[in-house]
Structure 1
Amino acid sequence: MAFVAPPDVAKNCCSIQQARVKLSVPKMLVLDLAAGFYISFGAETSIMVSHDLTALGAGFQRFMLASIFSVGLMIVINGGAELFTGNCLLWVAYMDRKISTYELLRSCLFVATLYWFSYVRQCKEATNVVACMKKAVNE
């Protein structure tokens, strides 16, 4: 693997971000949903695997949980999905004047809005699950 100097890393980042802000809204939506699926896959898998590892010690259990969760992040990167944390790198291209303020805000606000709606939906479902569990316990 070749060494890449920090200025070259910033240039590569700028070129990637320039392409990212040119994505159409439907493509951003699909890539955002894919990122959510990938992250939830990593999270659910790590929880399921680490659940049975309590007998081996808390340290090993947490190590395995973190190791398997990161697989979801690897899939996001390899799959080219659209995470909000990746949009935070848009500032590099913006400060280098490679993208406009409109492009920065459009991309960040669209992805952040999608995350907000999915978060509200997940909270609503979690509230329903808790209510169902309480009802089942009381019966």
Structure 2
Amino acid sequence: MAIYGFDAFAPAEIAERVQHVGVAKARMPLLKMLMLGVLAGAFIGLGALYYVLVVSDPTLGFAASRVLGGVVFSLGLLLVVVAGAELFTGNNLLVMAWADGRIATHEVLRNWVVVCLANFVGAAGLALLVWLSHHPAMNGGRVAETVVRIAAAKCAAPAGQLFFNGILCNMLVCMAVWMAMAGRSVIDKAVAIVFPISAFVAAGFEHSIANMYLIPLAMLLKDAVAAPIPGIDRLDGWGLLHNLGAVIAGNLVGGALLVALVYHIIYRRPPRNRASGGSG
């Protein structure tokens, strides 16, 4: 028997909550939106930093390093959801409120553009701080080498591959945010977040905000890494734009269309009235 006040919200209730939150996010004052966006970029960067620490250990097997790395990467979204921040990929769920006519198109676009740019400032700013701290020198320099290898592969990947990996990533990210809205406690939210986030990371899907941390950090580190790394010549501004353009487009499709719009149709779209009359 469910205990009142502790049972999870039902899916239809989650849809209503996501819609109400979407209206508040879309109409948030600009300065607050910018500051919370910067925080979210830094939070996701911290998750990526934690992930690199794990996967830079050569003693771990493939599956162990990927899954454990994904679990620790979940720190980023946990900070966003529990501490409070504005994350572009999670805010793709604003489409629910837009589809219901609660917010205008320009309000959705304003939120996405402002939050995405603020996320970049936070993520790239954290990359600069991490570089200045000499943190990547840990593990005999393997942390730095791992960052450069990961980022070089991201910049060298074909746009189509990045796009579809972006779709799959944000389907899982938005499902994590969706399920976290079902929870009433921090533990509820943590459990809801860890599994989908660790799944997308372990599978190697593409998250635009994480890439806003990893690629700038790799650009700062590439000249200090002695090992030959395929694709290192793509670590420049054009490589960053190549990656982010395709991944952001994929993230939008995965989150806005395949999660937000689908759930809007299921739970929020009013049923059509049957035409009056007919044979009988």
Counterpart of 1:137?
Answer: none
Is 1:73 aligned to 2:77, yes or no? yes
Q: CA separation in 2, counterparts of 1:121 and 1:9?
A: 31
Change (3 A) 1:120 1:5: closer
**What is the DSSP-based 3-state SS (H/G/I as helix, E as strand, rest coil) of the residue aligned with 1:108?**
helix
Q: Percent identity?
A: 32
Change (3 A) 1:125 1:87: same
Counterpart of 1:33?
Answer: 38
Counterpart of 1:101?
Answer: 105
Change (3 A) 1:121 1:39: closer
Q: Say which of 54, 73, 85 aligns to 1:49.
A: 54
Change (3 A) 1:73 1:99: same
**Stretch moving more, 116-125 or 85-94:** 116-125
**For residues 27-81 of structure 1, what are the alpha-carbon distances to aligned partners after superposition, in whole Å with 9 as ceiling and x for unaligned?**
11111111111111111112213433x3242221222101100121111111221
Q: Which runs of 4+ in 1 moved over 4 A?
A: 115-125
Counterpart of 1:129?
Answer: 221
Change (3 A) 1:38 1:131: same
Is 1:7 aligned to 2:12, yes or no? yes
Task: Provide structure 2 residue ranges, at least 5 long, that are not aligned to the other structure.
Answer: 1-5, 125-210, 227-280
Per residue, is there more helix in 1 or in 2? Answer: 1
Contact kept? 2:35, 2:118, Cα under 8 Å: no
**What is the DSSP-based 3-state SS (H/G/I as helix, E as strand, rest coil) of the residue aligned with 1:88?**
helix
Q: CA separation in 2, counterparts of 1:66 and 1:94?
A: 32
**Stretch moving more, 108-117 or 30-39:** 108-117
Counterpart of 1:110?
Answer: 114
What TM-score comes out, normalization by structure 2 length?
A: 0.42
RMSD over aligned Cα atoms: 2.5
Task: Provide structure 1 residue ranges, at least 5 long, that are not aligned to the other structure.
Answer: 135-139
Change (3 A) 1:13 1:48: same
What is the number of equivalent residue pairs in this alignment? Answer: 133
Counterpart of 1:20?
Answer: 25
Which letter does structure 2 place at the counterpart of 1:127? M
Counterpart of 2:68?
Answer: 64
**For residues 1-26 of structure 1, what are the alpha-carbon distances to aligned partners after superposition, in whole Å with 9 as ceiling and x for unaligned?**
42533322111111111111121111
Counterpart of 1:89?
Answer: 93
Contact kept? 2:46, 2:76, Cα under 8 Å: yes
Change (3 A) 1:39 1:122: closer
What TM-score comes out, normalization by structure 1 length?
A: 0.79
